[in-house]
Amino acid sequence: MRKNIFTIVVSVTIFTLFATNVMAQGKSSPFLITGKIPHLTKLLIQQWDNPDLNLTDQQKPKLLKIRTETLTNVRKLAPEIDSLEKQVADGILSGKTPTELSPIVFTIAKLKAEETMIQLECIDATSKILDKQQLEILLD
């Protein structure tokens, strides 16, 4: 009985900390690596007409295509991840063990790794279109 109460208290505490963290961020990141890898296409959109960035008419359609493909591919995975995250949250609060939830957690990790690879491919493709000076402007 004491073990069950302890498990429930720990689970609720972990869930509360997780929920607080998500609320503080406004939204959780779809990527495994957060805050260390730039979101180049987001930065580009913010500085699209910056005269210092000086995007050419040849660069702009290529960059928009990369952004569209990236967002589309990440958004395709979002509903599945959201559903799985809800299953984990509901499961731990309904008494499922970490061992029982482990397959779902590893599936979430695999999907987030896939999203992270999409982000890395986006950065790589974007970096090949921009020149060194443009990249420096974006990353400052």
All structural domains of the chain with their residue ranges: 29-139
For the ranges 13-17, 63-67, 75-79, 118-122, the lowest mean pLDDT is seen at: 13-17
Give the tens place of pLDDT for each residue, 47-101.
999 999 999 999 999 999 999 999 999 999 999 999 999 999 999 999 999 999 9
Which residues have C-beta within 8 Å of that of residue 133, sequence separation ≥ 6? none
**What does each C-alpha distance from 128 to 2, 33, 45, 83, 125 come to in angstroms?**
59, 22, 17, 35, 5
CA neighbor of 63 nearest in space, from 46, 44, 78, 50 = 44
